[in-house]
Amino acid sequence: MEASLKRLGTDYIDLLWVHFPDDLTPMEELLRGLDDLVSAGKIHHAALSNSPAWRVSRAVALADLRNQSPIIGIQHEYSLVERTADRELLPMAESLGLGAALWSPLGGGLLTGKYRTSAEGRLSDLGMVIHTESTDQKTAVVDTVLAIAQETGATPAQVAVAWVRERAARSTATLVPIIGPRNLSQLDSYLAALDVQLTDELYARLDKVSAVPLGVPHEDIAGSLGHLQGGDASSVITPVVPVA
């Protein structure tokens, strides 16, 4: 890892994101290396990128048990066309007190609506896009974003980013969208999203059309809550932070 830092041309960075999607590196070894980097003053904090929730949870527990430098956050894709992190990753972050950096808040440009009229963008520059209108739901999401943009006078990109920011405001975890402007115009558009405030009704419309099935066991648990809570969920105080 120290050699990797030197290749970056620095002897010190504030936060090191570690990305090991193949799971070939034992977590114990990874945590020891990160702890050594913190002890040597090479980094202040460590976080995990694109890792499954079970592996992040194990890393947090192991670091705590061994009194090693903690894992403070996660990084993963999240937008109106990619919300599968709602199943495990974001509830885990809230429960364990982790921050989350959310990349591709525009779904690779899909949420701007530009690919309906042109291939210019990632498709032409990189020969790829992260998302296309490959499902009826994605088409419905883009339709809704474009409609709300017209209603509010904001751009579709600003509406998409404003939804992520509002989602962050409603979370007990610190959720930070990662923007990737390729020119000054795109940067200005991103920054203008800071002034876009979605009403509860607009937020709910976007939230409903983009929601993903939570799957097993989450939907089973949700379906049995009424019975488990005595038939009157309103009488039960739900913890602000999910119980781990």
Of 110, 1, 9, 98, the closest CA to residue 51 belongs to 98
Q: Is residue 144 part of a domain?
A: yes
For the stretch 108-155, pLDDT in tens is 999 999 988 876 655 556 655 578 999 999 999 999 999 999 999 999
Looking at the structure of the chain, the number of domains it has is 1
| DSSP E strands, 54-98 | 71-77
Cα dist. 41→15, 33, 83 in Å? Answer: 11, 13, 36
Mean pLDDT, residues 156-166 taken together: 97
161: containing domain: 107-171+180-212
Mean pLDDT of the chain, nearest integer:
87
Tell me the three state secondary structure of residue 242: coil
Q: Is residue 75 part of a domain?
A: no
Give the global pTM: 0.85
Q: Which amino acid is at 234?
A: S
For the stretch 178-195, pLDDT in tens is 988 888 988 888 899 999
Q: Is residue 97 part of a domain?
A: no
Q: Is residue 39 part of a domain?
A: no
Residue 120 phi, psi dihedral angles, 5° rounding:
-65, 135
What sign results for the dihedral spanned by CA atoms 166, 169, 175, 180? positive
Which tokens go with 48? 């995990």
Q: Is residue 8 part of a domain?
A: no
Mean pLDDT, residues 166-181 taken together: 94
Q: Is residue 114 part of a domain?
A: yes
For the stretch 53-107, pLDDT in tens is 999 999 999 999 999 999 999 999 999 999 999 999 999 999 999 999 999 999 9
Q: Is residue 19 part of a domain?
A: no
Residue 25 contacts residue 32 (beta carbons within 8 Å): no
Q: Is residue 113 part of a domain?
A: yes
